[in-house]
Amino acid sequence: MTRSVHELYAARITDQTRQLAAAVEGSDAATPVPGLGGGTLAHLLRHVGGAHRWAETVIRTRATAPVSDDQVNDVTPGEDDELAGLSTWLLDGAEQFAATLLDTPEDTPVWTVAPSGRPAFWARRMTYETVVHRHDATAAVGGTYRVDAATAADGIEEWLGFSTLPQAYASPQAQQRLIARDRTLHLHGTDAADGQGEWLIDLGGSPMRWSHGHHKATTAVRGPLKDLLLALYERRAPDAALEVFGEEGLFTDWVHAAGDWLRR
């Protein structure tokens, strides 16, 4: 039986959160997290748990306007923070998010930060917020990071959707600098099982567009879906098996410019 969109993401977010908690089990809350600007595992868990609770509030209250995101950004650890307690709190938030999602009709209008206006936007966004920060936590403790191909491919497509939006960029000029006639990017996931692991990004005009398919491009990037996803978030694992053909600088510039809003 095919699962609904809400069932799919409720399962993914709880699974990813459990994996995050398991990755840091037995570690010190004060362990620094690479790329987190001096943040620790305690900061990271507070941030992810706060994000889950923020998005849950949006869905549960049927919010039609922005909701305060203080709990996402105010992540100063307490003096008595320890990972066991923070992990329990994190898991509670993910389970509450999943329960609220499953209790909400898919066509319910809610406020979203990008075009959608439906709860599935938050379900998908919180899933990949968790997926990416699970990588950060795993790297901090020296663990092994894995993501199944279907989840990684969906995360890539979410990122690609954002990359076409003007508001994803720091300024209109930052987006315009990427646009040039016949300029394209091709992503090729080498472990995609269903033939849906290839994407063409058209930077030849505005609005930018993306589509599935195998095409010759200005720049092509080839590798496992997990590594492609992490590269889009500017997190390249030391063992990343990526090959870049053509203008590597174009890929780097596009990723950095299109990911601006996710770093804010």
Q: Residue 132 belongs to what H/E stretch?
A: helix 119-140
Residue 175 one-letter amino acid: Q
**Which residues, 6+ apart, have CB-to-CB distance to 208 below 8 Å?**
163, 164, 175, 178, 179, 201, 202
What's the distance, Cα to Cα, between the start and end of the chain in Å?
39
pLDDT for the residue 140 = 97
Mean pLDDT in order along the chain per 10 residues (264 residues): 89 98 96 91 96 98 95 82 94 98 98 96 98 97 95 98 95 96 96 86 95 93 96 83 93 96 86
- Taking the domain 149-263, which CATH number applies? 3.30.1050.10
* Two domains, one topology: 5-140 and 149-263: no
Question: How far does CA 242 lie from the centroid of its chain?
Answer: 19
Give residue 81's pLDDT.
84
Domain ranges in the chain are 5-140, 149-263
- Nearest-10 Cα torsion for 17, 23, 24, 25: 100
The pLDDT of residue 195 is 67
Domain 5-140, classified CATH 1.20.120.450, yes or no: yes
Question: What is the chain's length?
Answer: 264
CA distances from 164 to 68, 209, 255 (A): 26, 6, 12
Contact 154, 199 (CB under 8 A): no
